[in-house]
Structure 1
């Protein structure tokens, strides 16, 4: 089990999007004492590779609205 993926899923992200964020965009996750406390959503959206992850980006935008 991966705690970051589980924490993202607990925040409402589907598994595939949680895995993508953890693997490719972990720098936009904010941790305190190894616990996920926030997501820099604006930066995540602006820096996500739109050509490679267009569908995932659209899904992310919907979740964060």
Structure 2
């Protein structure tokens, strides 16, 4: 599973930035549900950690 696709799932699953209908359309077009894949939780947690680390760096430099 390409790591950048995790964002599509977590925007719906964790943040509510995408609706369930939008995610369902993505699943229909992409061909499978990323959230049902083994390792989804781990990859999603790592992606969130990367997002937080980027934000902390931005605060420190700006």
TM-score under structure 1 length normalisation = 0.29
**Which has the larger share of strand?**
1
**Which has the larger share of helix?**
2
TM-score under structure 2 length normalisation = 0.30
| Larger RCO, structure (CA 8 Å, separation 6 or more) | 2
